[in-house]
Amino acid sequence: MTTKTKSILKYMFALILLVAILYRTDFSKVSHYMENISPLYLILALFLVTLAQFSAALRMAYFFHAEGFPLSNKFAVILFYVGSFYNFLLPGGIGGDAYKIILARKRMEMPTMQGVKIMIADRASGLCIIMMMLYVSAYLIDFSSIAYANWLILMASIVTLAAYFIISKIFLKKPPKVMLLSLPYSFVTQMLWIATLAALWQGLSNGKTLIDYVALYCAASVASMIPASPGGLGIKEATYFYGAKLINQFAGVSIDPELGVALSLCIFFISLICALPGILWLHKVSHLDYSPKSNSGTI
């Protein structure tokens, strides 16, 4: 099966899943939420996502530098934007990472497997922080109906952190210090995404249950790592919708699944808009100077 065929099938899967979820929702509520959001909150969300992209680009540059292949901040940001564009062009997030690996092999003579390990380590750092934020938000939600819920959350946190360092050391050959020092980049990146969620949530609704949607955002972010759709379209909406129902069931609250779907769709379209600048450098990035001395100048 060709890459083009796989991409088409993944787009079809995303659309079918999204239609199925929207069919199960009260679509009039979803559309009402999205139609009435203030443009100011959308502009704020675009600004915050842009900052998050810069932070993620610096994390990627950090991993390249740790492997002895320093990148200028300017080149790292450009490469990240091109990779983000490829992630939407080739569903599942694999396209952008594969492009970075190919470019590193051609431009820097980096062994392919070394590039693969850098990309996996980069993703693992982000995943670790997302999981920890998921545990914190789950702790702040009252799951008293589940026996030993807080102890289970604590144990999951310990296991996640241990697995992060042990797996990185054994399979990725990354020293614990390298993986530890990447976490501040991931923390800043994810806090900016959560600030984006908060801005959209405030613009869509005046509810008092932001922490529940933070938990849903983290769960949806993890689910969207499955390489089955562009930008997690369909997968994230399903996670928000059914996740909201589970929180309502086990936490005894009444959060709105339709608001979760509206939030997810807003985040998807903002992410898509913020990835579009990658087109500007699509055919230029392979010729740009990547060395740190090229940090000067505008992007």
- Per-residue model confidence (pLDDT) at position 154: 96
CB 152 within 8 A of CB 208: no
DSSP one-letter code for 273? H
Q: Tell me: the pLDDT tens digits for 35-81? A: 989 999 999 999 999 999 999 999 999 999 999 999 999 999 999 99
Does residue 29 lie within any of the structural domains?
Answer: no
- Alpha helix (H) residue ranges in 141-256: 149-171, 176-204, 210-223, 235-251
> What are the distances in angstroms from CA 267 to CA 50, 72, 124, 195, 232?
12, 29, 22, 12, 11
> What are the distances in angstroms from CA 136 to CA 59, 92, 150?
23, 27, 10
Burial call 157-170: b when 16+ CB within 10 Å, e when fewer: beeeeeebbeebee
pLDDT at 217 over 80: yes
Lowest mean pLDDT among 103-117, 199-213, 247-261: 199-213
Does residue 144 lie within any of the structural domains?
Answer: yes
Does residue 31 lie within any of the structural domains?
Answer: no
CB 263 within 8 A of CB 200: yes
CB 258 within 8 A of CB 237: no
Round to whole Å and give the CA distance between 59 and 184. 9
Using only the alpha carbons of the chain, give its radius of gyration. 20
Q: Can you give the pTM of this predicted structure?
A: 0.92
Lowest mean pLDDT among 3-7, 172-176, 184-188, 223-227: 3-7
How many other CB atoms are found less than 10 A from the CB of residue 22?
A: 18
Does residue 100 lie within any of the structural domains?
Answer: yes
Does residue 251 lie within any of the structural domains?
Answer: yes
Does residue 118 lie within any of the structural domains?
Answer: yes
pLDDT at 298 over 50: no
Domain span at residue 282?
3-12+43-290
Does residue 36 lie within any of the structural domains?
Answer: no
When divided into structural domains, the chain yields a total of: 1
DSSP one-letter code for 284? T
- Alpha helix (H) residue ranges in the chain: 3-24, 27-35, 39-66, 73-89, 94-108, 112-140, 149-171, 176-204, 210-223, 235-251, 257-275
pLDDT at 294 over 80: no
Does residue 241 lie within any of the structural domains?
Answer: yes
Q: Tell me: the pLDDT tens digits for 76-108? A: 999 999 999 988 876 544 578 888 999 999 989
Which 3 state secondary structure label does DSSP give 121?
helix
